[in-house]
Amino acid sequence: MQSIGERLEEARKRRGISVREAAEGTKIRGDFLLGFENNQFDTGLPDLYVRGFLRNYAQFIKADAEKIVTDYNAILIGETKVSRKENRELFGRMEIPEQKRAAPEAGGNPSQTERRRPDDGGERKRDLLSPEVANYVKIGAIVLAGILAVVFIVWLVQLIIHSASSPEAVGGPSASQVEEQQAPLETVTLIALDTVAVKVTQESDGRELFSGPLAKGETRQIAKRGRIIITYDAGRNLHVEKSGKRFQMPRDDYGRSYFE
């Protein structure tokens, strides 16, 4: 069974198109296309955009776009399962060592561990913690507790000062936040001229209003307050309509635009 990369390369060569020509035709970087043909899909971009690139490239070279995207999704699922299995195996290999206690000698004190060296003339030496070492341990624990207490007090004081000096603590929400909250609710429409992956985020609070692919001819209404950020993988395939007017994206390929 052919891999995704083999099918893409075969379809491109069958049409007599070079990687450079494919990059110019799809507006996708040539190194991305070469990576796809070598089954390397780690472009540093979200999976949403990788799917969009694969779909556009496959459609351009007349390959089965839906089959390629489906196989890519299967690869992602397989990588997730492998990662989980490795984690389980790692935890499965962890062992908790058992503490072994030496049995006390006959006639000795059961509460203490004793041992006899053959060359000491029968003299017993007890494996007990000396009073000096015990004092050092106690002093170290006290010093560590004091340092932690000082760090906590300093952090608490800084938190109180920061809270008291912030505009929200002194006079409520800032002017820009009040303005965004009072902005009227507007509706814009995303119109797909062809397949395109889109993500819409509200700038004021970072809330994601929409994320996903749009098929050719599909529309999507978005309710917003104030300015929004539109990220897309093929700007030539996307229009935005507001109050009966259509607006075209400033970039033909991957881009990010602000829209009032």
User: Which pTM was predicted?
Assistant: 0.35
Question: From the CB of residue 43, how many other CB atoms can be counted at a distance below 10 Å?
Answer: 16
Quote the CA–CA distance of 202 and 222 in Å, as a whole number.
10
Both structure tokens of 147: 């340092």
59-68, 178-187, 237-246: least confidently modelled range: 178-187
Does residue 90 register a pLDDT over 60? no
191 exposure class (CB count in 10 Å sphere: 0-12, 13-18, 19+): middle
Burial class (CB in 10 A: 0-12, 13-18, 19+), 206: exposed
How far is residue 136 CA from its own chain's centroid? 46
The Cα–Cα gap between 260 and 255 comes to 17
The pLDDT mean for the chain works out to 81
pLDDT in tens, 186-217: 999 999 999 999 999 999 999 999 999 999 99
Give the pLDDT mean for 235-247: 94
Q: What pLDDT is stored for residue 145 in this prediction?
A: 92
Both tokens of residue 184? Answer: 């009227």
**Which has more pLDDT, 83 or 30?**
30
Hey, CA dihedral for 104, 108, 109, 115, is it positive or negative? negative
